Amino acid sequence: MHAISYPLMEDFYTIQGEGFNTGKAAYFLRLGGCDVGCVWCDVKDSWEAEKHPLVTVEEIVERVLKSGADKVVVTGGEPAMYDLLPLTEALHQKKIECFIETSGAYPLTGTWEWICVSPKKFKAPLPEVLKMADELKVIVYNKSDFDWAEKNAGFTSPECILFLQPEYSVINVIMPSIINHAKSNTRWRISLQTHKYIGIP
């Protein structure tokens, strides 16, 4: 049988730095391939899937187990471009929890303990994926992103936790507006990329 594999840009055991699961140890799987095209993307090297080695599900699971992690964060790139069911099934068999970070631009496959949707204007998320989100994390680059944030929040479930996160390169400029928005729209929380402050990936 042909082994199922994914283009893996990088994988490492670290601490989740942002969003709801901040502070939790997790093994990150960054899959290559993304056609969303965010101008401020800080992982542009991930865009071309062909640049990254295909790694089998078995090998991925082995690496996760070897690290001692009990949670995996699947990110990208845009991981939802792939059928992720074989990956989550194999991880769940080993009692590893599966979290995903996706733009929501593709139908979501796999089974997940935590779904973080980070919608991007450059390729809008699918309403059915927004509905499944446990967490909506909107990156705020300029003030027009608040309207974008509210529009997407309108598609989420009432239980979905809403985060505004400053785009790191403009944090000093945009932070006062984010604070104001969170104070006057109290369903929103602020997420910071804490890993960048403590020097971990």
43 binds ligand SF4 (CB under 6 A): yes
Tally the C-alpha atoms within 13 A of residue 193's C-alpha that lie toward its C-beta. Answer: 16
Supply the minimum distance, in Å, between the C-beta of residue 35 and ligand SF4. Answer: 8
Residue 98 interacts with ligand SF4 (CB under 6 A)? no
Least gap, CB of 99 to ligand SF4 (angstroms): 16
Q: Which residue lies nearer to ligand SF4 by CB, 17 or 90?
A: 17
| Contact call for residue 25 and ligand SF4 (CB under 6 A) | no
> Binding of ligand SF4 at residue 46 (CB under 6 A)?
yes
Q: How far is the CB of 87 from ligand SF4 (least distance, A)?
A: 18
Q: Parallel, antiparallel, or unpaired: how do β-strands 25-31 and 5-15 relate?
A: antiparallel
Give the helix/strand (H/E) hosting 90. Answer: helix 85-93
41 binds ligand SF4 (CB under 6 A): yes
CA 191 to chain centroid, in Å, comes to 13
Does position 77 interact with ligand SF4 (CB under 6 A)? The reply is yes
For 20, phi and psi rounded to 5 degrees? -60, -40
Q: Is the dihedral of CA 133, 23, 183, 197 positive or negative?
A: negative
* Amino acid letter, 156: T
Distance CA 171, CA 168 (A): 5
Tell the residue number behind the tokens 């979290």, with chain if given: 99
Q: How far is the CB of 34 from ligand SF4 (least distance, A)?
A: 3
Given 16, 103, 152, 165, the residue binding ligand SF4 (CB under 6 A):
103
Kindly list the residues in this chain that would bind ligand SF4 in the complex (CB under 6 A): 34, 36-38, 41, 43, 46, 76-78, 103, 120
